[in-house]
Each structure stands twice: as C-alpha cells, then as structure tokens.
Structure 1
Amino acid sequence: MTTSHSPQQADGWTAAVRQRLGLGRLLPLGGPADGAWIAERAAASVLRSAAAGPGAVLGRLRIGAADPDGPGRDTAGAGPETDAPPPGSHASPSHEAPPAPPSALASGPLRIEAEFSASADRPLPDTARTLRAALLSAASARLGLVVGEVDLRVTALLEDGAPDRVSVPADEVRAATADGAAADAAAGVPGVVALTRELGSAVHTGADHLRVEVATAGDHRALDVARAVRTAVAAAVEGHPPVAVLVTAVVARD
C-alpha cells in the first residue's frame, strides 16, 4: 500500500524534524525523581555565556551521558576532580517520578565536551582550569545539571589583537498560549518566561502523566523552576498526576 503526501504535509514534517533536532539531547535535571529535563541547546547557551570571559573562546560544545567507568578528566591540563551533585539535586518528595520525554537521556551524571581557542599569553593549564570551573559552576548553580566529567581540548591559539570573547545569542522561544488548568498553573510559576511547544503542545497529556514545556528565566535556576512547575501543575489538575517538565530555552534578562 502506498500513501501520498502533499508538499505542505512534507514541508511540515521536515520542519518538525528540524525543530526537534535543533533542541539537541534532552538532558536530565537533578536526580531520578525530579522529573525534569532540559534541551541541550538551552543548557549550552547558559554554559557558553558563563565561559565568555577573557583568555578563551569556546568552540564546539556537547553535553551527554558520562562514561560510567571513566573518571572526570580535562585533556587540556586541568586535572581530574570528583564533582559533587549540585545543591538540591535530591529527589522531590512531593510527586511520583513521571516517564521521561521521548528519547531523553536517563538520569545520571553528564559529560561536557568542549573545544576552545586560547590566548597565547596565558599558560594553557591555567586557562583550562578557569574555563572548567566556569562550566561546572554554571551547570550546577544556574541549571541543576549533575556533571561527572569535563573534557576540554585546545584547538587553536588566539593571535595578538584577536578578540578573546564572543557574544552569546539568546535562546529563541517558540511560545505557546496558556490554555487549561495545567498551563495556567505552569505559566504562573516565578521564573517561567513562557510555555513552549517544541515537541507538540505546551501540555502533553499521557495515559498516566502530564508533560509541560517551559522557557525559564536566566536569573532563576532551571531545576528549581521545574520543581515548582511540577508542584503547581500537579496541585491544579484533578487526580494530581505525575508531571514531567521540559525546559526548552533559558532566556537572559537585562
């Protein structure tokens, strides 16, 4: 049996695939019972902003699951350390853990891989240590990611007079209109800039859970906002179902 699709349908499907791939991996926030995830694109924008200091220009950056058998390491010269989980990453006692979004990474330590260009007038190990500390601090304090490994690689030296910092573009927000008790409750949580619709609707109703998509403010820790959204939505919906939260963007505020 064959089926035919109009050009409009094909274009819509292609756009949806590109939109989903643009989010990158869906990374766990906090611990297994926190029921929160963040798009790699959103997390990377925060990390890039934190790393935008003198002495280095961050290039390719990826975030994925850490090697369970490998210690944290820094190939650019900052020695391995054991990174403690961020504050507040314990399981939330309020609600049952919901299912993860489609293709999301399982809860567990993450690995940051980044390439950077470094200024030739600074010792490379010092630059690497500063960059590594900035990435780890932002991952924990601004997002709530549990990072077990950071792998940095120097790819070039900055020439004299070359800029050693770059501007970081703000996350784009594909906002959705709040409609219904769950959406209204999520939209009213401090730190929620907007509801979003990257994976479909802002509120996805599953057989036994809800999933809510939000963009959070850069001056609020993403994990804390996600926890508050879970609590507010579960309280507002009849039956108090498990609630998953996906942060698709982190928006800087002037």
Structure 2
Amino acid sequence: MTAERLTQAVRQQLGLGRLLPLGEASDGAWVTEEAALAVLGRSVRPVPGVRLSAMRVELSSPRAAVEPAVPPPPSAMPPGPLTLTAELAAPADRPVPAAADDVRRALLAAAEQELGLALESVDLRVTELVEAESTGSAQAGGPKPEGVPHAEEARESGSAGSAGAAHRAAVDRVTRAVLAVEGVARLVPVLGPALSRVAAGAAVSAVQIEGDPEEGRCHVLLQLGLSPTRRALDTARAAGAAARDALGASGKVTVAVVVTAIDRV
C-alpha cells in the first residue's frame, strides 16, 4: 500500500469513529459510530422542533465490559451496556422535560429495534430553546453515511501459488454466501490491514480471511452495508453464520462482522 493510500485509509477510519458493539459478546458484531448515530439521529424526526448535536456513545461502565468471543477489529469497543450523551435544542413553546422524554424514548427504541445496540441510558443536556418559527428544519440527522465508499465485490491479499488460489476461492465462497443473506445490501470495506499493522498490507477488503481456510481454522472479517429492512444485529448474525457455513468448518471458524453503512428508508 502506498503512503498516499495509507494516509487516506487512516483518515477515513478516523472519520468513521469507533466501532460500537452490537448484541452480546458471543455475536461478534459491531457497527461504525457514524452509521449508528445516523440511524439514531433520524429516529427523533417525529419529535417536533428538536435538534440533537454532539452525540456520542460510551460504555456505561468500563467494568461491565466483557471480552468479545472473536478477535475484535481495530478501534472496536468491547461489548457491554452503553450510554448515549447528546446536546438538545428544544422548542420554546413546549415543556422541556416532555420534549426530552420523547427524544429519549425514540433513541432507546431505535437502538433496540433498528440496530440491536445495548443502549442502557440516554443523557441529554438542553443547550438551547428554539422559537417555533425556527424549528421547522431543526431535526437531527446524525452524521451522514454518504462518505462511506461502496464496493460491490471483495478483494483479498493474493498469496502466491496454489495457496493463493485456495484463499481466493474461499473469499469468493464467503462473498457469495454473505451477499445472499437477507438485509445485506452490499460489501463496504473501510478497515484494512494498514489500520491494524505497521507494515504495509494488502488493499482494503470487505471479506478478509486470516489463517488457513482449507484446514478450517481461520478468522474472517466481514464489512457490510445493510438495508433497513431488518434489524442490523439480526443481519450481522445471519451473515456471520453464512460465512462459517461457506467455509465448511463452522466450529473452527471465527467471524467478526462490521456494519459500515445502513441505507436510509
């Protein structure tokens, strides 16, 4: 990987923020902070006149975090209960506690029903009261996921000889199986070897396999863009299962799934 591509990849990852855990430790699934906050921000649109800013998700208690069942990808938070903090601009013509309660309920519902994010609490700080005529477009949208590149096919590291051919065949099998999963819209790679190793590595891939897939002992990293037709966690679980089945030795294969983009409704 050239210095220019490495710099671009690092900047891209920093822009996406951290990876938030989906579900439990056994699920081996994460979602980019950008994609998650976009979904959560859109969930408050039905609440009249509110605007969220400075949204951030943290572990509720580092002591409650647990080790994931699979090797985590770079910048991944460990599974555990989460707390969302945000600044809230509320309409001046409505009681602030009522508006804040509606926002809190919308965020908690979206975290569970649309993402599968273990959001335990929402801390809102009211920073502004907005007059009614100014609130027409004051809806939260969250960070925009459009900056995430789309990719329609996976690329792999390309080892030489028969081992390389076997590796490419394994990547192809996993790719086809994952793209057939309901809710998977496309492959969207953003995490590459350059982000987890000092040495220059291969091009960023949406399906990465470490280890020997022929022997069945390997680790797979999937990076997926999802449609909003299904809860993100459910799609991630199904994609992980499809990848294990495609390699024919599900008991010896670990899979980490990263949701890098979620399409809008």
State the TM bucket, normalised to the shorter chain.
Answer: 0.7 to 0.9
- Residue 178 of structure 1 contacts residue 184 of structure 1 at CA under 8 Å; is this kept in 2? no
Q: Distance in 1 between matches of 2:229 and 2:78?
A: 26
Q: Distance in 1 between matches of 2:77 and 2:173?
A: 29
User: 179, 183, 197: which one pairs with 2:189?
Assistant: 197
Partner in structure 2 of residue 64 of structure 1: 58
Q: Distance in 2 between matches of 1:243 and 1:32?
A: 12
Structure 1 pair 10–69 and aligned structure 2 pair: CA distance change class (3 A): closer
Partner in structure 2 of residue 79 of structure 1: none
Q: Distance in 2 between matches of 1:138 and 1:154?
A: 21
Q: Distance in 1 between matches of 2:183 and 2:144?
A: 16
Q: Normalized per residue, which structure has more helix?
A: 2
Partner in structure 2 of residue 32 of structure 1: 25
User: 139, 155, 170: which one pairs with 1:166?
Assistant: 139
Partner in structure 2 of residue 175 of structure 1: 150
For 1:46-125, list aligned pairs within 5 A.
46-52=39-45, 53-67=47-61, 97-125=69-97
1:209 partner SS: strand
Structure 1 pair 149–127 and aligned structure 2 pair: CA distance change class (3 A): same
Q: Distance in 2 between matches of 1:12 and 1:135?
A: 37
Q: Distance in 1 between matches of 2:71 and 2:140?
A: 37
- Residue 216 of structure 1 contacts residue 249 of structure 1 at CA under 8 Å; is this kept in 2? yes
Q: Distance in 2 between matches of 1:69 and 1:34?
A: 20
Q: Unmatched 5+ residue regions in structure 2?
A: 155-171, 192-203, 212-217
Q: Unmatched 5+ residue regions in structure 1?
A: 1-7, 71-95
1:218-243 CA distance string (max 9 Å, x none): 23100000011011111011433121
Q: Which amino acid aligns with 2:53?
A: G
Return the offset for 1:15: 1.1
User: 247, 253, 256: which one pairs with 1:237?
Assistant: 247
Return the offset for 1:51: 1.2
Return the offset for 1:136: 0.3
Q: Which amino acid aligns with 2:9?
A: A
Q: Which amino acid aligns with 2:150?
A: A
- Residue 115 of structure 1 contacts residue 153 of structure 1 at CA under 8 Å; is this kept in 2? yes
- Residue 49 of structure 2 contacts residue 139 of structure 2 at CA under 8 Å; is this kept in 1? no
- Residue 25 of structure 1 contacts residue 64 of structure 1 at CA under 8 Å; is this kept in 2? no
1:161 partner SS: helix
Partner in structure 1 of residue 230 of structure 2: 220
- Residue 189 of structure 1 contacts residue 232 of structure 1 at CA under 8 Å; is this kept in 2? yes
RMSD of aligned Cα (Å): 2.1
TM-score, L = length of structure 1:
0.81
1:39-74 CA distance string (max 9 Å, x none): 01000000000012313111111112113589xxxx
User: 119, 125, 149: which one pairs with 2:121?
Assistant: 149
Q: Which amino acid aligns with 1:226?
A: A
The answer on 1:210 being equivalent to 2:220 is yes
User: 164, 169, 188: which one pairs with 2:180?
Assistant: 188
